[in-house]
Structures are given as structure tokens and as C-alpha cells.
Structure 1
Amino acid sequence: MWKSLTLIGFLAAAVAVPAYAQNVTSATGGVLRALDKTSGQTADIEIRSGQAVSHGLLEIVMTDCRYPAGNPSGNAYAALEISERGKPGVVFSGWMIASAPALSAMEHPRYDVWVIRCTTS
């Protein structure tokens, strides 16, 4: 019973201030974390908005990274486009949210990528 009340409270708080109504600021870049599921190695990737970086077989482009206005260490939202070298199309295109990585996750058999935070300098 308590779990359902907690979930209801969480959902009510999430609905009370929709994401589109929050004031956000665009950052100069962000930090992503990548996991190679084959080797088990992780790497933090610093990327500037508009920049493309390579990680393993992936090509990652961050078009924007946003955070709550006045709180740079707050929840990050990053617009990413991820493709795999040598293969047509994209593996992922959209927004990833640091506090809810499973909400909009990249589906890839070898790699996982998720947002850690935005950077302001």
C-alpha cells in the first residue's frame, strides 16, 4: 500500500510542473557515459553542443544540453543523434534525460550511452 501511495505522490509531483513549463538553460556541452557491454568498460565522454565524437564504433552528436535555470548541477536533458560507423541510419535520435535514462534509451547490442550532466564552461 505504501509503495502505491509513494508512486501516486511521485506522479502527482511530476504532473504538477510539466517539463515544458520549467525554465531551462542551454549549456555549452555535456558529459555522457558509455558502456561497452562486450568488455564491460565504461568511459565518460565530454562533448560540446554541436560537436561530433567517436566512441568505439559509435558516432555521437550532441545538438543541445539543457538544465534547470539557476541549477547547473540539476537534471540534464540532452538532444543526441547516435549512429554506427559503416551502417546506414541512426541508432538513436532524440532527448535523453539524466534522471530517467530508461525513459528514452538507446537500443544497441554492444553499447549503452546515457547522459550524466551538462557542462557550463
Structure 2
Amino acid sequence: MKKLFVAGAFLIGGGIVSVPAQAEMNSYGVAVLQGLNKVTARVSEFEVPLNQPVLFGSLEITAQSCRKNPPEEAPEATSFLEISDVGSDGERKPMFSGWMFASSPAISALEHPVYDVWVLDCRPATNP
């Protein structure tokens, strides 16, 4: 018996409903983040190249991946971040590890008493 596979269409209640295919997200070499120091109320935008730790206050932020929808899709940027709080003695305390989404920063947020960090965009890495 042959199985019939129709890409992007489903049989529901006797009728066929087509579902548009989503394009894959494009990978980029730099995550563009924004950070808030809750004590000073200062907001900073900064770039984090993939796999290169960047300091924001006492936070060490490493972006493992940064992806963004192609221009013809709904705007969305997402980055897999690892964030640690570095103490004055150099000890790193893991604070966050996971995906952050530009369109919904509250879904997966850093919980820190002094800092907020969220994803704005992804950019290509520049060659030196």
C-alpha cells in the first residue's frame, strides 16, 4: 500500500486546507543585544560575536547562535545566549542559558537584580 504525502496540505473534515511553508531562519555571526542597568537606568546597545564572551557590567555574555527570518517572512531574531555573573573574585555564577526572542523578550528572560538583557537583531560578522 502506497502512502500519499502532500506537502503543506492537510485533509480536514473532507476538505483540504493548505498551510504556507515557512522558510528556515538565516544564521548570522553577531547578536545585537540591548542591556539595561536597573540601578542607573542606563540602556546600552552592544554586539556579541558568536563564541566570544562580551562583558556588560558584571555579566559575561556569550552568544552561541543568532538566527533571523528572511526579509519576506515576519520579522524575528533569536539568539542562544549563555550569561554568567562574574564576581569581584572572578568566580562565574551561571544566570541564564537558552534562547531569547526579539519579538517576545518576556518568554525567556534573564532574571538578575541589576541587569536586563534582550535580543534586538542579528548581523553578519565583519571580517578584520
Q: Shared fold by TM > 0.5?
A: yes
With over 3 angstroms needed to count, the CA separation of the structure-2 counterparts of 1:55 and 1:72, relative to structure 1, is farther
Please show how residues 38-49 of structure 1 align to structure 2 within 5 Å: 38-49=39-50
Residues 90-120 of structure 1 deviation map (CA, whole Å, 9 limit, x = unaligned): 1000000000000000000100000000002
Q: Aligned equivalents of 1:72 and 1:119: distance in 2?
A: 17
Q: Is the 8 A contact 1:31 1:47 kept in 2?
A: yes
- Partner-residue secondary structure (3-state), 2:93: coil
Show structure 2 runs of 5+ residues with no match: 1-18
**Distance apart, 1:89 and its partner CA:** 3.4
Please show how residues 30-69 of structure 1 align to structure 2 within 5 Å: 30-69=31-70
Identity of aligned residues (%): 39
Please show how residues 71-90 of structure 1 align to structure 2 within 5 Å: 74-86=75-87, 87-90=91-94
More helix by share: 1
Show structure 1 runs of 5+ residues with no match: 1-15
Partner of 2:4: none
**Distance apart, 1:69 and its partner CA:** 3.2
Q: Is the 8 A contact 1:72 1:120 kept in 2?
A: no
2:99 maps to 1:92:
no
After TM superposition, the score normalised by the length of structure 1 is 0.77
After TM superposition, the score normalised by the length of structure 2 is 0.73
Bigger CA radius of gyration? 2
Q: Aligned equivalents of 2:72 and 2:31: distance in 1?
A: 14
| Two-structure CA RMSD over aligned residues (Å) | 2.4
Q: Aligned equivalents of 2:72 and 2:53: distance in 1?
A: 26
Q: Aligned equivalents of 1:85 and 1:72: distance in 2?
A: 38
